[in-house]
Amino acid sequence: MTRSSLTDPPGGTLPRADRPAPSTVDSTVRMGFTQRLRRDWPFLVMTAPAAVLVVVFHYVPTLGNVIAFQDYNPFLGDSAVGSFLASPWIGFGNFMVLFEDPAFWDAVVNTLSITLFQLVFFFPLPVFLAILLNSVVSGKVRGFVQSVVYLPHFFSWVLVITFFVQMLGGAGLLAQVLRQHGFEPVAIMSNPDAFIVVVTAEGVWKDLGWGAIVFLAALAAIDQQLYESAAVDGAGRWRRLWHVTLPGLRPVIVLLLILRLGDALSVGFEQYILQRDAVGRQAAEVLDTYVYYQAIVPQQWGVGAAAGLFKGVVGLILILVANRLAHRLGEQGVYSGK
Amino acid sequence: MSTHNAWEERPTLVGRLGKGGTLVLLVLVVLFPMWSVVVTSLASRKTIDAAGGMVVIPREFDPSAYLSIFSGGTVTQALWVSTVVTIGGTAVSLVLTTFAAYGLSRPGTLWHRPLLFVFLLTFLIAPGLVPTYLVVTGLGLKDSLWSLILPSAVSAFNLVVMRAFFMGVPTELVDAARIDGASEWGILFRIVLPLSKAVVAVVGLFYAVGYWNAYFNSVLYLDSSDKWPIQRILQGYILGGQSPAVTGNVPINLPGVTAYPPSLAVKMAVVVVTVVPALVIYPFVQRHFTKGVMLGAVKG
């Protein structure tokens, strides 16, 4: 209830449309469409441009995924819509081509391996960093460390990989030092076997600090008295960490875990496409780069759309399942019919 | 913030060393590569040859690499393109997002729920690369700088962050203005926006960083190399193995300047100018991060 809805008499002395619009729902139910339109048109005008862009660049392509069931040929019509109307429907033909392509399954396996690897070796690190930063008593030291570790989040993938190449690559600083001391330099950046470790290290370098922000906020929300009572009851620092800190972080951890699981088929795009040439397809091809190299480059639109649709549908199912799972475990989940 | 509590154990020496050591290591791992890149970009050919590549210890201050990349040519052009796209794109994005966030900030207005749903659903559904490519090219945006702006102009995440902030503006203020006869536009510009500078700054930074850092859209949509943004040029130099065209029209009458700066120094100078914009804006917006990130996380 807002102030206006409490103070205005129910019938109102002013005609409804001229009355100051209440800031919440209450009285709108009783108004007709034209009255509401007359009152609310500025909101609609404000929202419209952004909504149009989202429809054009998000929903139209989403619907455009139906070309996955076509032998789409851009030369059949004089516009994209014309080609779409003229292209023949071929049912699941594109999916047959896709599922029989071993390179597609390689890409699926690579993607899932990287997701799994990063869940184990990347996901927990921001939690540790947040706990570490939170335990630093000096505000100045903490502020400085935070400023430094947040920074790489704002670098592009081109930059992050550039820094890695200049430090660890074949012509980088590490190779120089090894060579000067008579050792054979090790190929880190172009070794397919090391690729999964390298991309994870790049991700950690870029986003470790940024990922800790959410956990730091959750730590700040933990009631300090819980720590004190635990200490009075004889819990040492490790038991307080286990019985107070980690339960306090649990909802955030579960939330981010769901989001990550729902995104299991996306490991990022630019990071992989930038390194695919140096490392080779066998290790560096993920689903997104597969779509680019198998569809956009050779202009095999139907098969590419089929791969994209496969990824989108599986991703949607994953996030719905993960969210339901979280609800069942008694956690809040990502969304809940608001 | 927290001082030492009476009930807390005294920190052990091992614990303090371990913590301190970890933090120092983290800071070094982030800063050392940046340091080495800056030092190399300012090094002379002699120093670079002596080091065998990347330089760690600064020996001189030779700005010729920077003079070279700013003396016209590929890098200057790419920096110009990136600046135009970043400023123009951020302006377009901020205007669209601010209006839509305010337009969706009053529950109960006409079509509020379905419109909000249109934006929220984008979190769940990704359209896919091929149809997006066909739509963008079908609209005639191929080889146009608009292809770097329009497809990503509205981020639902930023919209939700801003909307959450706008909804937190005290209802009393808004109602009072409305009773005084202010229009919704007046309320947005005179009451809501002045109270929301922090969120506008953070969202503006998110958009600007996105535009400045974008690489792949230029690979997809831009054929003519004079329209390529700086990330594309950097990619060509560092990962594509191309050598920067080192121009000879560097003013050599300046002290300490060599006419033909070493190619590695030029490459590292390109890295530095690509990093600098982020470094310049960063301190101004940093204190608002937590708020911005948390608003999105909580109300999204």
pLDDT given at position B257: 55
A144: nearest CA in chain B? B27
**Higher per-residue pLDDT: A2 or A291:** A291
User: Nearest CA to CA, how far is B94 from chain A (Å)?
Assistant: 10
pLDDT given at position B15: 86
Does residue B119 sit within a domain? Answer: yes
Distance between the two ends of chain A, CA-based, in angstroms?
A: 18
pLDDT category at A262 given cuts 50, 70, 90 is confident
Give contacts of A 5-34 with B, CB under 8 A: 20-26, 28, 33
pLDDT given at position B294: 57
Cβ separation of A61 and B275 shorter than 8 Å? no
Cβ separation of B286 and A147 shorter than 8 Å? yes
Does A228 score more than 70 pLDDT?
A: yes
A128 lies within 8 A of chain B by CB:
no
Does B260 score more than 60 pLDDT?
A: yes
Cβ separation of B108 and A22 shorter than 8 Å? yes
B100 lies within 8 A of chain A by CB:
yes
Residues of B within 8 A of A141 (CB-CB) are 23
CA quadruple B168, B170, B173, B174: dihedral positive or negative?
Answer: positive
Does residue B64 sit within a domain? Answer: no
Instruction: Report angle CA A300, A100, A86 to the nearest 5 degrees.
Output: 35
Three-class DSSP category at B182: coil
A43: nearest CA in chain B? B103
Three-class DSSP category at A223: coil
Cβ separation of A152 and B150 shorter than 8 Å? no
Does residue B17 sit within a domain? Answer: no
Q: Which string of DSSP letters, residue by residue, matches A291-335?
A: HIIIIITTT-HHHHHHHHHHHHHHHHHHHHHHHHHHHHTT---S-
Q: Is the separation of the CB atoms in A29 and A5 below 8 Å?
A: no
pLDDT category at B300 given cuts 50, 70, 90 is very low
Mean pLDDT over residues A330-337, rounded?
Answer: 58
pLDDT category at B283 given cuts 50, 70, 90 is confident
The number of folded domains in chain B is: 1
Does residue B290 sit within a domain? Answer: no
pLDDT given at position A11: 36
* Location of structure tokens 């060393």: B17
Name residues whose C-beta falls within 8 Å of residue A85's C-beta, 6 or more positions apart in sequence: A77
Mean pLDDT over residues A5-21, rounded?
Answer: 39
Does A274 score more than 90 pLDDT?
A: yes
Does residue B132 sit within a domain? Answer: yes
pLDDT given at position A16: 40
Give the C-alpha separation, A336 to A152, whole Å.
Answer: 33
B259 lies within 8 A of chain A by CB:
no
Nearest to A61 among B36, B112, B131 (CB): B131
Q: Is the separation of the CB atoms in B239 and B133 below 8 Å?
A: no
Domains along chain A? 93-328 (1.10.3720.10)
pLDDT given at position A58: 95
pLDDT given at position A186: 84
Give how far Cα B121 sits from Cα of A50, A60, B124, Å.
14, 14, 5
Three-class DSSP category at A89: strand
Give the C-alpha separation, A305 to A74, whole Å.
Answer: 14
Does A333 score more than 70 pLDDT?
A: no
Instruction: Locate B13 and state its tokens.
Output: 């020496």
Global ipTM: 0.88
Residues of B within 8 A of A26 (CB-CB) are 108
Cβ separation of B54 and A166 shorter than 8 Å? yes
B177: nearest CA in chain A? A20
pLDDT category at B132 given cuts 50, 70, 90 is very high
Estimate to the nearest angstrom the gap between the alpha carbon of A36 and the chain centroid: 37
Residues of A within 8 A of B208 (CB-CB) are none
pLDDT given at position B258: 57
Does A6 score more than 60 pLDDT?
A: no
Cβ separation of B131 and A136 shorter than 8 Å? no
Does residue B145 sit within a domain? Answer: yes
Cβ separation of B19 and A136 shorter than 8 Å? yes
Give the C-alpha separation, B41 to B53, whole Å.
Answer: 11
pLDDT given at position A328: 81
Q: What is the pLDDT of residues B4-15, one digit of tens each?
A: 677 888 888 888
In sequence order, what are the beta bridge partners of A89?
A: A70
DSSP tag of B44: -
Name residues whose C-beta falls within 8 Å of residue B87's C-beta, 6 or more positions apart in sequence: none
Cβ separation of B290 and A213 shorter than 8 Å? yes
Q: What amino acid occupies position A270?
A: E
Does B1 score more than 60 pLDDT?
A: no
Name residues whose C-beta falls within 8 Å of residue B108's C-beta, 6 or more positions apart in sequence: A22, A24, A25, A26, A28
Estimate to the nearest angstrom the gap between the alpha carbon of B126 and the chain centroid: 23
B289 lies within 8 A of chain A by CB:
yes
The whole domain housing B236 covers 74-244
**In chain B, what percentage of residues exceed pLDDT 70?**
89
Min mean pLDDT across A192-206, A228-242, B252-266 is at B252-266
User: Which of B283, B253, B284, B251 minimizes the C-alpha distance to B70?
Assistant: B251
**In chain A, what percentage of residues exceed pLDDT 90?**
50
Give contacts of A 43-102 with B, CB under 8 A: 43-47, 49-51, 53-65, 67, 74, 79-81
Report the run of H or E that residue B60 belongs to, with start and end.
Answer: none
Does B189 score more than 60 pLDDT?
A: yes
Give the C-alpha separation, B25 to B64, whole Å.
Answer: 33
Estimate to the nearest angstrom the gap between the alpha carbon of B258 and the chain centroid: 33
Nearest to B7 among A167, A232, A305 (CB): A232
Q: Is the separation of the CB atoms in A212 and A133 below 8 Å?
A: yes
A221 lies within 8 A of chain B by CB:
no
Give how far Cα B62 sits from Cα of A200, B49, B58, B65, B201, Å.
36, 15, 10, 8, 36
* Location of structure tokens 């995440």: B157
* Radius of gyration of chain B measured on its C-alpha atoms: 25
Q: What is the pLDDT of residues A306-324, one digit of tens each?
A: 999 999 899 889 888 888 8
CATH code assigned at B106: 1.10.3720.10
Nearest to A305 among B124, B131, B289 (CB): B131
Does B212 score more than 70 pLDDT?
A: yes
Min mean pLDDT across A12-26, B215-229, B261-275 is at A12-26
Q: What is the pLDDT of residues A80-96, one digit of tens each?
A: 788 888 888 998 999 99
Mean pLDDT over residues A117-133, rounded?
Answer: 95
Q: What is the pLDDT of residues B18-64, one digit of tens each?
A: 999 999 999 999 999 999 999 999 998 888 988 888 999 998 888 88
Most A CBs within 10 A among B37, B86, B134, hence the mutation to make, goes to B134
Does residue B155 sit within a domain? Answer: yes
